Structure 1
Amino acid sequence: MKKYNFLTVILLGITLIGCGDKNKGENSLFNIDDTAFPAHFTQKEAISIGILNPKSKEIDSIAYFVNDKKVGSTKAAEKFKFELKDQKLGYQYLKAVVYFGSDSSDATKRIELVSDIQPKLLKYKVVNTYAHDKKSFTEGFEFYNDTLYESTGQEGASFIKKYDYKTGKIFKQIDLDQQYFGEGITFINGKLFQLTYKNKKGFIYNAKTLKLEKTFDYEKDIEGWGMTNDGKYIYQTDGTEKIWKVDPSTQKMIDYINVYSGESKIKAVNEIEWIDGKIYSNVWFKDAIAVVNPTSGAVEGILDMSGLRKFMTDITKDDVLNGIAYNPKTKTIFVTGKNWSKMFEITVSE
C-alpha cells in the first residue's frame, strides 16, 4: 500500500476521491438500499440492488437501469444482482422503476467504479538530448513519416511546424490566426487534425502539404487539449479525466473513458500518445506520464519524469512537462515541455 500511495503522489499530488453518493434520493416512496455498499466498487465486483419501501407499498415489479440502460427486472421486491465488469470507470447512475398498483415511482443512486490495478513504476533511460525552441509553448508532438511535427499554444503565437529535431531546421510552418490558441495534433488517414483550446473548433490539413482542407466544430461543449490515434479512431482530451474516442471521418464523439489510478480520478489529462496499444498521457502540472489502458481507463504504469529538470537551469515550475512523440523507426519516445530548452529521447522499461 505504501508503494501505491507513493505512485499516486507522483501522478496526482492530491488526496483520493471520496466515496459514492450516500445521500438518500429525493423520492419519498422508495429508495435504493445502499447500507451494504462499499465506498467504491471495482469491475471485478457485482452489485446487489435492493429497494427500501418505508411506506410498505405492495410492489408488483421493479425494472433496473444503469446509466439509463435497462439491465434487468424482478418480481415484487426481489433484489437484483448486476455484474460490473463491462461498466466504465467513474460514476455509475443506478435507477429502479418501482411498479405498484397502477402507478410507478423511481429510486436513484450514484456509485463510483474505480480501478483495482496497482500501477507499475516504470523506468526510463535518456539516450539522446536535443535542443528545443524555448519560445514554443508545446501542445502537440508527433512523428509522421520519420519527421517531427509540433503544435504550440497562446493566442498570436500558435503554429504547427515540421522540422528536423536533430538540427532544429524548420521545413514548414503554419501560423494560426491570432484568435486561436493551438492545441493537440494527430495524423490519420492522410490528414493532420488539430484542436484549439477554448474556440471549440478544429482544423483538418492535408498531411503532405499542410494545406487547410476543413474546419469543424466540437460536438460537445468542451475544451480541446491533447490528441492521438490508434490507426482507426482519434482520441482526445478536454482537461478533465475523460479521453474521448472520435470518428475521424465525421468528427463525432462516439465514446469515452475516465482515467483512474486506483481509487484516484486523474483530472487534467493533457497531451497524449498511442504507443504499443496504450495511451501515454501527460497530466497538467505533473512531472509524470501515466500509461493508460484505452479500453478501461485504468492507469497501468507511471513514469516519474521529474529528473529531467536537472538538465535545464533555464526553466521554472510553470514550464510544465508536455509533449510525447513516439518514433516507430527508432522505437524511442521523445518528450519535452512548454517553453523547455531541451527535448529528450528516451527508452522505457519496467
Structure 2
Amino acid sequence: MKNYNFLSIILLGITLASCSDTKKGENSIFTIDNSTFKAQYQPQESLKLAILNPNEKAVDSIIYYVNDKKIASKKGLDKLTFELKDQKLGYQNLKALVYFGGENSEATARIELVSNVQPKLLKYKIVNTHPHDIASFTEGLEFYKDTLYESTGLNGKSFFRKYDYKTGKVYKQVNLDSKYFGEGITFINDKMYQLTWQEKTGFIYNAKTLKLEKTFAYDKDIEGWGMTNDGEYIYQTDKTEKIWKMDPNTQKMIDYINVYSGDSKVKAVNELEWINGKIYTNVWQKDAIAVVNPNNGAVEGILDMSGLRKLVNVTPEDYLNGIAYNPKTKTIFVTGKNWNKMFEITVSE
C-alpha cells in the first residue's frame, strides 16, 4: 500500500479521494436498489441488481442496461447478477426499464469501476543526450521511417518539422496558420494526422511530401491534445482521463477508454506513444509517464522522470511533453516544452 501511494503521488500529485455517486431514479414508482452498492468496484467483482417496488405494482418484466447497452431481461422482479470483468473502467450508468400494467418506467443509478492493477515503478537509463530547440513548445513527437518529426503549439508559433535528432538540422518545416494552436501528430497509412487544441480541427498530410490533403472537424465536442496509433486505429487525448479511439479513414470516434491508476482517474493525459502494445502517455504538469493498457485504461507502470529537470535549463512551467519510440534502436526519446535537450532512454522494471 505504501508503494501504491508513492506512485499515486508521482502520477497524480495527490491520491484522489473516491466517492459514492449512485443515483436514484427520477421517478417514485421504481428505484434500483442501491442499499448494498459500494463506492467503487473492481473488474473481478459482480454487481447485484434489483428493483425496489414501494407501490407494489404488478411487474411484467425488466430490461437492464449498462451504459445504454442492453445486458439482460428478467421476468417480474427477478434479480440480476452482472459481471464487471468486460466493462471499461470509469462510471457505469445503470438503467432498468420496468414494464407494468401496459406501461413502463425507468430507474437509474451509477457506480464507478476502478482498476485492480497496482502500477509498477519503472526505471529508465539515459543512453544518449541530443540537442532540442528551446523555442519548440513541444506537443507531439514521433518517428516515421527512421526520421524524427515534432509538432509544436502556441498561436502564431505552431509548426511541425522533420529533422536530424543527432544534430538538430531541420530537413523541412511546415508552419500553421496563426489561428491554430498545433497539437499532437501521428503517422498511419502513409499519412500524417495532426490535431489542433481548441479549434476542433484536424489536418491530414501526405507523409512523403508533407503537403496538406484534407482538413477535418472533430466529431465530438472535445479539445485536441496527444496522438498515436496502433497501425490500424488512431488514439487521441482531450485533456480529461479519456483516450479516444478514432477510425483514420472516417475521422470518427468509435470508442474510448478511461485511464485509472488504481482507484483514481488520471486526468489530463497528454502526448501519446504506442510502444510494444501499450500506450505511454505524459500527464500534463507532471514529471511522469504512465504506461496504459489500451484495452481497459489501467495504468500498469509509472516512470518518474523528475530527475531529468536537473539536466536541462527549464522553468517550472516548461513541462515534460514528447514521447517517441524508435523501432530501429528500440529506444525511447523524451523531451519537454522549451527544453534545450532531448533524452534517449531505455526502460526496465
What is the deviation of 1:204? 0.7
Alignment of 1:211-226 (within 5 A): 211-226=211-226
The answer to whether the 8 A contact 2:21-2:39 is kept is: no
The answer to whether the 8 A contact 2:25-2:106 is kept is: no
What is the deviation of 1:16? 2.2
Secondary structure of the 2:59 match is coil
Distance between the aligned counterparts of 1:54 and 1:17, measured in 2? 34
The one-letter amino acid of 2:232's match is K
Distance between the aligned counterparts of 1:30 and 1:50, measured in 2? 10
Distance between the aligned counterparts of 2:104 and 2:217, measured in 1? 41
Residue 335 of structure 1 corresponds to 334
The one-letter amino acid of 1:209's match is T
Distance between the aligned counterparts of 1:307 and 1:277, measured in 2? 26
Per-residue CA shift, 1:5-45, capped at 9, x if unaligned?
11011000133242342343322111111111111111111
Secondary structure of the 1:57 match is coil
Alignment of 1:169-248 (within 5 A): 169-248=169-248
Q: Which runs of 4+ in 1 moved over 3 A?
A: none
Residue 345 of structure 1 corresponds to 344
The one-letter amino acid of 2:38's match is P
Distance between the aligned counterparts of 1:30 and 1:321, measured in 2? 51
The answer to whether the 8 A contact 1:17-1:265 is kept is: no
The answer to whether the 8 A contact 1:114-1:260 is kept is: yes
Per-residue CA shift, 1:80-135, capped at 9, x if unaligned?
11111111101111111112222221110011111000000001001111111111
The answer to whether the 8 A contact 2:193-2:205 is kept is: yes
Instruction: State the identity %.
Output: 73
Secondary structure of the 2:290 match is strand
Secondary structure of the 2:136 match is coil
Residues 1:127 and 2:127 are matched in the alignment: yes
Alignment root-mean-square deviation, CA: 1.0
With structure 2 as the length reference, what TM-score do the two structures score? 0.98
The answer to whether the 8 A contact 2:322-2:334 is kept is: yes
Distance between the aligned counterparts of 2:73 and 2:24, measured in 1? 22
Distance between the aligned counterparts of 2:245 and 2:129, measured in 1? 33
Residue 319 of structure 1 corresponds to 318
Distance between the aligned counterparts of 2:120 and 2:70, measured in 1? 37
Residue 18 of structure 1 corresponds to 18
After alignment, is 161-170 or 69-78 more displaced?
69-78
After alignment, is 335-344 or 43-52 more displaced?
43-52
The one-letter amino acid of 1:324's match is I
Distance between the aligned counterparts of 1:15 and 1:295, measured in 2? 24
The one-letter amino acid of 2:326's match is N
Alignment of 1:1-350 (within 5 A): 1-312=1-312, 314-350=313-349
Distance between the aligned counterparts of 1:327 and 1:227, measured in 2? 16
Distance between the aligned counterparts of 1:101 and 1:191, measured in 2? 58
Distance between the aligned counterparts of 1:253 and 1:199, measured in 2? 17
Secondary structure of the 1:9 match is helix
Distance 1:316 1:328, change over 3 A: same
The one-letter amino acid of 1:326's match is Y
Secondary structure of the 1:244 match is strand
After alignment, is 240-249 or 96-105 more displaced?
96-105
The one-letter amino acid of 1:45's match is E
Per-residue CA shift, 1:303-323, capped at 9, x if unaligned?
0000001112x2111000000
Distance between the aligned counterparts of 1:248 and 1:69, measured in 2? 25
Distance between the aligned counterparts of 1:41 and 1:27, measured in 2? 26
After alignment, is 22-31 or 275-284 more displaced?
22-31
Q: How many residues align?
A: 349
- Structure 2 unaligned spans of 5+: none
Distance between the aligned counterparts of 1:185 and 1:17, measured in 2? 34
What is the deviation of 1:47? 0.8
Distance between the aligned counterparts of 1:72 and 1:22, measured in 2? 20
The one-letter amino acid of 1:201's match is T
Per-residue CA shift, 1:249-304, capped at 9, x if unaligned?
11111111110011100110100000000000000000000000001000000000
Distance between the aligned counterparts of 1:278 and 1:12, measured in 2? 20
Distance between the aligned counterparts of 2:14 and 2:25, measured in 1? 29
Distance between the aligned counterparts of 2:104 and 2:219, measured in 1? 35
Distance between the aligned counterparts of 2:278 and 2:17, measured in 1? 24
- Structure 1 unaligned spans of 5+: none
With structure 1 as the length reference, what TM-score do the two structures score? 0.98
The answer to whether the 8 A contact 2:5-2:15 is kept is: no
What is the deviation of 1:78? 1.4
Secondary structure of the 1:60 match is strand
The answer to whether the 8 A contact 1:188-1:229 is kept is: yes
